[in-house]
Amino acid sequence: MFGLGRRRVQTGDCKVAVLGGGHAGRGLAGYLALQGLDVSLYNRTFNNIRDIARHGGLDVEGVINGHARLSVVTGDLQEAIAGRDIIIVAVPATGHPFMARVVAPHLQPGQVVLLMPGRTGGALEFVEVLARHRAPDDVIVGEAQTYCFVSRTTGPHSVRVSKVKRRVRVSAVPATDTREMLRRLDGVPLKLCAADDVMETGLDNMGAMLHPAPTILNAGLLESWGGGYNHYHDAISPTVGRLIERMDAERVEVARAFGVHATSLLDWFREAYNARGKTLYECIRSTDVYNNIGSPSSLEHRYVLEDVPTGLVPIAYLGRLVGVDTPTIRAVVNLACHLYERSFWMSGRTLERMGLHGMSPEAVMEYVQTGMRLEEEVLLPEVWEPFDLEVDMT
């Protein structure tokens, strides 16, 4: 089982590898480097970060400004993580299995791997893949509930960090490693605090609430215009906002059935952005950080292709496991299946991919808390019955 290491990382001496050179990874790498950390940046396709390597780093603007020198910019994963204390995975959640598979042979005892974010079940799936590929046991794997910043790429070697979130919860797998993980992360200037476990971080998946339904329900406009609108202010109308609130109520109920405290979407907006309003629509309209956010330019976008299979799908499966119906969430997944002509129920994060197949709800909580798998596991074959509207792609 992946567990506690013993190497202490001192503030100021921390070396960080950021895996992923997109909006999130660039914002994270630039911010940390400007805070004085030794940061390496890896991207699977080196051409996408070649200009950063030539420039010697990133030009950062927004809440922090300056030239962020990166010690390593590379498409070589082994080079990126060698000697690094902390490895932060900032790729779309659908890339977590690939990243776990390719990083496993190069991990070193004592390293911390933090998924930012894990979406729903990310760290659980990551641990499963690492175990299959014989990664060192003395590695801590955890996940953040969300990304710490709002950031966007502004040029070939520049990024804008427009918002730093006031608090982001994190948990390790198992939760008994969380305290040690946070102790190691003391050297990283991010506003992190402990969640109870990865069920809390995973079921507080706000992106799964905010992204798929507005994208799917505005598919005609998106395809006709090629985007060009504001996803939050334009696509989330009062009616769409009420639909999302129903999805969110189902998510919170699934968490409650597991004994997990989940923050409602409205409370999260108030906490993260000081939003005002009684409805989701009103809260979003009062959140100025979304003023300059655009929209997808096509349906081939992570708002569906990531947030459905790694957000809505596992939430629905976990709901079925614990006996909570999720009709609104399932309806949105089924619409996605029809719209994209694929079965997200089969390709998404199933209980098996999260290492939870055959477990009772009690066994799931024991596993995420302690890492122990109960000897007598309860098989629930009804979990695997097809959903009524699932698309048959065979």
**Interstrand relation of 140-144 and 57-62 (parallel, antiparallel or unpaired):** unpaired
Stronger pLDDT, 21 or 382, i.e. the higher one: 21
292 touches 249 (CB < 8 A): no
Q: Tokens 């079921």 label which residue?
A: 203
Look at residue 385 in the predicted model and tell me its pLDDT.
41
98: helix, strand or coil: helix
Look at residue 5 in the predicted model and tell me its pLDDT.
40
Look at residue 9 in the predicted model and tell me its pLDDT.
41
Q: Cα dist. 283→145, 227, 243, 265, 280 in Å?
A: 20, 23, 15, 10, 5
Q: Residues near 253 by Cβ (< 8 Å), separated by ≥ 6?
A: 319, 324
Q: In degrees, to the nearest 5, what angle opens at C-alpha 199 toward C-alphas 198 and 202?
A: 75
Q: Residues near 291 by Cβ (< 8 Å), separated by ≥ 6?
A: 230, 233
pLDDT band with cut points at 50, 70 and 90 for residue 379: low
Stronger pLDDT, 193 or 290, i.e. the higher one: 193
Q: Residues near 362 by Cβ (< 8 Å), separated by ≥ 6?
A: 374
Give catalytic residues, as residue numbers: 211, 307
- The type of residue at 41 is L
pLDDT band with cut points at 50, 70 and 90 for residue 382: very low
Look at residue 376 in the predicted model and tell me its pLDDT.
55
Look at residue 383 in the predicted model and tell me its pLDDT.
38
Residue 260 has pLDDT above 90, yes or no: yes
Look at residue 378 in the predicted model and tell me its pLDDT.
56
Q: In degrees, to the nearest 5, what angle opens at C-alpha 58 toward C-alphas 54 and 78?
A: 70
pLDDT tens for residues 264-312? 999 989 987 889 999 999 999 998 878 878 899 999 999 999 999 999 9
Look at residue 167 in the predicted model and tell me its pLDDT.
85
Residue 172 has pLDDT above 60, yes or no: yes
φ and ψ of 154, to 5 deg: -115, -5
pLDDT band with cut points at 50, 70 and 90 for residue 380: low
93 touches 122 (CB < 8 A): yes
Residue 386 has pLDDT above 60, yes or no: no
Look at residue 293 in the predicted model and tell me its pLDDT.
83
Q: Tokens 């055959």 label which residue?
A: 358
116: helix, strand or coil: coil
215: helix, strand or coil: helix
User: Helix and strand tally (H, E) in the chain?
Assistant: 18, 12
Helical H segments across the chain, by residue range:
23-34, 50-55, 77-81, 96-103, 122-132, 178-184, 198-203, 206-210, 212-217, 219-225, 238-257, 265-273, 280-285, 302-305, 313-322, 327-340, 344-347, 361-370
| 26: nearest Cα among 107, 95, 90 | 90
Instruction: Return d(Cα 121, Cα 202) in angstroms, integer.
Output: 6
Stronger pLDDT, 393 or 234, i.e. the higher one: 234
Domains of the chain: 15-203 (3.40.50.720), 206-384 (1.10.1040.10)
Residue 7 has pLDDT above 60, yes or no: no
Mean pLDDT score across all residues of the chain: 91
φ and ψ of 389, to 5 deg: -105, 15
Instruction: State percent of the chain over pLDDT 90.
Output: 83
Look at residue 377 in the predicted model and tell me its pLDDT.
56
Question: How many CA atoms lie less than 13 Å away from 12 in the CB half-sphere?
Answer: 0
pLDDT tens for residues 339-358? 999 999 999 999 999 999 99
Instruction: State percent of the chain over pLDDT 70.
Output: 92
286 touches 277 (CB < 8 A): yes
Decide: residue 378, CB within 10 A, 0-12 exposed, 13-18 middle, 19+ buried.
exposed
